[in-house]
Amino acid sequence: MTKSEEIKNHLIKEFGYLEPAARTQGPRRIFMEAGADKFSEVFGFISEGMKPVMLSAITGLDEGEGLGFIYHLSRADGVIINLKTTAPKTNPVLKSVTRYFPSADVYERELRDLFGAKIEGLVEGNRYPLTDDWPAGEYPLRKDWKKKEVKDAL
């Protein structure tokens, strides 16, 4: 059994509801999905209970109906746990994970600017990476956003 399968099985044992969407890809990649209501407990478990673990990045996805967010958690043994959660496009609310990983600050600001995610618990601060005069409601990494609109917006 590869390392990634071992970790996947361990997580499924803890949280049975992860099983349907859980899969491994190669010896060091795990993909899992947790609904918005379950995400916090799984994320907390990996961050606190599987130390040392690092948040490598958060990827935002436009999946048509809703938005997807993948938290790439990398372990010291080279395995990355890619934990995904989803949120509706109309009200994409996420809880900040900065209390586990201070480095998430800038990743979450990026989700806010480029996907329009609302991050609960993220401290006030500069936006990233768009300009301060970027028009409200324009989220460039959403699929329906087109480049030409920048000129019109300005």
Partner 1 sequence: MHSKRGFKIPVGPQHPSLKEPESFSVALRGEKILGFDMRLGYNHRGIEKACEERTYFQDIYLIERICGICSHSHSTCFIQAVEELAGLEVPKKALYIRTLIGELERVHNHFLWLGIAGHEIGFDTLLMYTWRDREIVMDILAALTGSRVNYGINTIGGVRRGVTGEESKKILKAMDDLEERTKYYIELAMQDTTIIRRFSKVGILSKEDALRLGAVGPVARASGVERDIRRDDPYAAYGEVSFGVITDNHCDVYGRTIVRLKELMESFKIIRQVLKNLPEGAIAVKAPRKVPAGEAVSRYEAPRGEDMHYVKSNGTDKPDRVKVRAPTLANIQAVKHMLKDRFLADMPIVIAAIDPCFSCTDRIISTRDVDTGRSDVMTWDRLREYSIEWHRENGVDFSKIKTKIR
Enumerate binding residues for partner 1 (CB under 8 A): 25-26, 28-29, 31, 52, 54-57, 59-62, 70, 72, 74, 76-78, 80, 82, 101-103, 105-107, 114, 125-131, 140-141, 147, 150-151, 154
Q: How many residues does the chain have?
A: 154
Q: From residue 37, how far is each of 17, 70, 83, 94 by CA, in Å?
A: 12, 15, 14, 10
Sheet-wide strand order for 80-88? 23-24, 29-33, 80-88, 66-75, 53-62
Q: Which is nearer to partner 1, 39 or 110 (CB)?
A: 110
Q: Which is nearer to partner 1, 2 or 25 (CB)?
A: 25
Q: Other C-beta atoms within 10 Å of 141: how many?
A: 15
Q: Which is nearer to partner 1, 22 or 57 (CB)?
A: 57
Q: Which is nearer to partner 1, 10 or 99 (CB)?
A: 99
**Distance of closest approach, residue 80 Cβ to partner 1, in angstroms:** 6
**Distance of closest approach, residue 88 Cβ to partner 1, in angstroms:** 19
Partner residues linked to 73 by β-bridges:
55, 81
**Distance of closest approach, residue 61 Cβ to partner 1, in angstroms:** 6
**Distance of closest approach, residue 66 Cβ to partner 1, in angstroms:** 14
Q: Which is nearer to partner 1, 37 or 144 (CB)?
A: 144
**Distance of closest approach, residue 104 Cβ to partner 1, in angstroms:** 8
